[in-house]
A = this chain, B = another copy of it.
Amino acid sequence: MDADSKNAASATDAYGIPIIPDPSDSAQRKRQAIIDAAAAEFLAEGYSAASMDTITSRSGVSKATIYKHFGNKERLFLAVIAGILPTTYADLEPCNSALAQAPDLRAALIGLTSDFATVLLRPDIMTLRRLVIGEIDRFPQLGRLWYQVTYDMNNGPLTEAITELGRLGRLNAPDPALAAQQLIASTVGILQLVRTFAPDSEIDQAELGRVVASGVDLFLARYAVAPAS
């Protein structure tokens, strides 16, 4: 389709300067095709039942190429999961910074936890989560990676926000890290637990709102500083 390494030596940019392509340009595309095919297969079948033959046919690349790139099945699996994990949580980033300044704290917390729940309950993320949990004993690295990603994306920023709200005199949480865990657990965690064992259950928006609101009220009943009334 596009320029390949074969004719790359004669290609020039707008200034007539030869474009030196990454010698592994085609290799990179193949590498990505392998990763995509492998991800689909691993998510559908799990690690052990996944077949390198199936990954080979779906990727359109020969099996020998896969082994040249990734060495063996374990390394391919780790590369695939480690590549997927951070990107799935990327949707959660923006919602934390404004929390400390929100005029209506309850509404802000409900919005935050609802966003968390909506992302984390997505079927593809739940499937990935089940896969990682099931393979933790075989791949302990994935547990550490999962912990780091969820901490950086969820618990870490939330803990900081709770600390800041404490400084502002709006919350009274002696242990902000634990308070953050409690807020997550009593909102997202409840819904996640049910969905973990019931993969095909629909995400009922009304139930989501009800559980999340009740969890936020639980949190505020314990940690909110009573306004002058």
Residue positions of A touching B, CB distance < 8 A: 45-49, 127, 130-138, 140, 142-144, 146-147, 175, 178, 181-182, 185-186, 189-190, 193-194, 196-200, 210-211, 214-215, 217-219, 221-222
Contacts and interface: CB of A to CB of B under 8 A. Distances in A.
A148 to B, nearest CB: 10
State the number of copies, please.
2
B178 A182 contact: no
Contact of A185 (B46, B133, B143, B189): B189
B190 A185 contact: yes
Contacts of A217: 222
Given A182-B186, A219-B218, A222-B218, A143 B198 contact: yes
A175 to B, nearest CB: 7
A123 to B, nearest CB: 11
B134 A182 contact: no
A133 B199 CA distance: 10
A200 B136 CA distance: 10
A185 B185 CA distance: 6
